[in-house]
Amino acid sequence: MGQLCIEKPKQKHSEDNLHELNPQTQKYPQTQESSLQNPNLSEQEVKDKTQVKLLDSVNTHQNLSIHDVYKILSPPLGSGSYAEVRKGVHKVLGITRAIKIISKSEATNEEVSRVLHEAEILKQLDHPNIVKILEIYQNSEQIFIVTELCTGGELFDAIVESQQFSEKDAIKLIKQILQGLNYCHQHKIVHRDIKPENILFESKDKRGTIKIIDFGTSRVFDPHQKMNQKIGTPYYIAPEVLKKKYDEKCDMWSCGVLTYILLCGYPPFNGKSEAKILEKVEQGKYDFNSEEWDIITEEAKDFISKLMEKDPFKRYNAEQALKHPWIAQQNEDVQNELPQIDRALKNMKTFKSTKQLQSAIYQYIVNQFSTQEDKSELLKTFKALDTNNDGQLSRQELLIGLRKIMNENEAIEEVERIMRDIDQNNSGSIDYSEFVAASINRSKLLSQDRLAKTFQAIDKDGNGSISIDELKLIFGNGLVPDQIWKQIIHEVNDKEEITFQDFSELMLNLAF
């Protein structure tokens, strides 16, 4: 085994200004409160738009201090020139999160723009292998981005510790990265800085779930237009990025480099300086000649070659890479997941939320309280059903899975019901969060203790009832007008506040 010879770079390699990260030039879909008050909208259209806003699992808090909600712990988990990451414990719920804290005074306008850009990108993504953003707090001095906490550390540290991974373990890691990238690319988002430091283990189990992080250099791309900004990290950057003419397949090259390092313990391109490394990257020549590669299968080498193809046109995309025999040998078998599919289906069959507030609070509870243990089995089921690895369940994929446990007519009928009742954002497919919310054990999730804590978290003044103003702090990002909030509460009772009894009855209707 060779000595590991790769250093963690101090910063990303970027020779150009990050013009596309400027929020004035980056186009995001804007949501206006006035859109809900458009007189041309039908009652159902207003309800649908309101539901989407209420179910937005990422809330941006302008009028709520993070210190009223979280106890921020020391020391930092990591820090940079203008930001640090700390653990934060929710004062009511008792749940620990990761909180990225950005100092506006120490960051340039460009750096602040990059942080806000990253948050906007992450808000759009819902995939089990991409870190989930939960809340954003902002005041005049700082920005706080709250995400799920990954406790297993960076893949970089695991590489340093192990130096080489078995092919079986490498496949498990690379497949998850590819699934996350396939989802991103399907949604026209390119990461542009895939490297071991940006891959975290969800838990201490190095064979468990990984999460892709750091979308600060990502961007929405146009498939008909090449990108031209030179950005990335020397060891992993694709040759065409250096020439400022590239597309989303730059991520695939980086994934190929990462696979190479996992299997042999050192990078394909090395040098005494950054310039020397980049010179070798630009040439794009690498080999499998050292003794570490003698025990590596030809399939693994072929897989790397397909990703590290210098010509981007010939290079595999994420969907093709997931079908490569080296990766596909560990595909989840729907047949093996039948007991779990049957269990998930029974929960999905009884899931139907008819009230907007009920749906919003339930999604909040799922986001806050569902544990890694709760979701591990559901994740296997979801990935077994997701046969095209795009991170969503289509009608056809659901139908294929349901045919295994019921007849054709029942399966067709059940698929239509699932799409009607569970596709709450009307995307035309079942997203991962929607699947988890509908499939999780609701009797266990909606315990009296959790309901009491959730009520307490929303009831900010502690007077024993929830008002419209308190609901607005948690749901809808301030984009739902008071008159619509009144209509929403009237679905629960004829008052303008909700007692704990009202709250419990509303939520326990979902438990059975």
Summarised one tens digit per residue, pLDDT across range 116-125 is 888 988 988 9
In three-state secondary structure terms, 102 is strand
The phi and psi torsions of 219 (rounded to 5 degrees) equal -160, 160
Distance CA 32, CA 435 (A): 28
pLDDT of res. 280: 96
CA-wise closest residue to 184 among 148, 219, 145: 219
**pLDDT mean over 185-209:** 94
**pLDDT tops 70 at residue 109:** yes
Model pLDDT, residue 22: 34
Model confidence band, residue 319 (pLDDT cutoffs 50, 70, 90): very high
pLDDT mean over 321-330: 93
> What does the angle CA 298 – CA 303 – CA 308 come to, to the nearest 5 degrees?
120
CB 253 within 8 A of CB 160: no
Would residue 193 show up in a list of annotated catalytic residues for this protein? yes
100 annotated as ligand-binding: yes
Contact 224, 248 (CB under 8 A): no
The 3-state DSSP class for residue 169 equals: helix
Burial class of 17 by CB neighbour count within 10 A (0 to 12, 13 to 18, 19+): exposed
Quote the CA–CA distance of 298 and 269 in Å, as a whole number.
21
Query: Residue 494, Cα to own-chain centre: how many angstroms?
Result: 38
Amino acid sitting at position 49: K
Torsions phi, psi of 70, nearest 5?
Answer: -120, 145
Average confidence score pLDDT of the chain: 86
Provide the residue type at 285 as one letter.
K
- Look at residue 511 in the predicted model and tell me its pLDDT: 78
Give the Cα separation of 125 and 120 in Å (integer): 9
Strands, E assignment, 95-184: 96-103, 133-138, 142-147
> Model-level pTM?
0.88
Between 269-273, 402-406, 503-507, the lowest mean confidence (pLDDT) is in 402-406
Residues 206, 246: Cα–Cα separation, whole Å: 33
Confidence band (pLDDT; 50, 70, 90) for 154?
very high
**Residue written as tokens 């970089």?**
156
Say whether the peptide bond before residue 75 is cis (omega within 30 degrees of 0). Answer: yes
Q: Can you list the domains of the chain with their CATH numbers?
A: 155-328 (1.10.510.10)
Confidence at residue 398, expressed as pLDDT on a 0 to 100 scale: 92
43 vs 157: which has the higher pLDDT: 157
Q: Is the pLDDT of residue 353 over 80?
A: no
CB 99 within 8 A of CB 72: yes
Cβ-in-10-Å burial (0-12, 13-18, 19+) of 291 comes to exposed
Distance of CA 415 to the CA centre of its chain: 25
- Side-chain half-sphere exposure of 76, counting CA atoms within 13 A: 10
Catalytic residue among 56, 126, 193, 247: 193
Among 184-188, 285-289, 328-332, 365-369, name the one with the lowest average pLDDT: 328-332
pLDDT at 482: 81
pLDDT band of residue 46 (cuts 50, 70, 90) is very low
pLDDT band at 2 (very low <50, low <70, confident <90, very high): very low
Q: Which of 133-137, 246-250, 371-375 has the highest mean pLDDT?
A: 246-250
Q: Which residue has the higher pLDDT, 30 or 232?
A: 232
pLDDT at 56: 57
What's the pLDDT band for 32 if we cut at 50, 70, 90?
A: very low
Structure tokens at 264: 């042999």
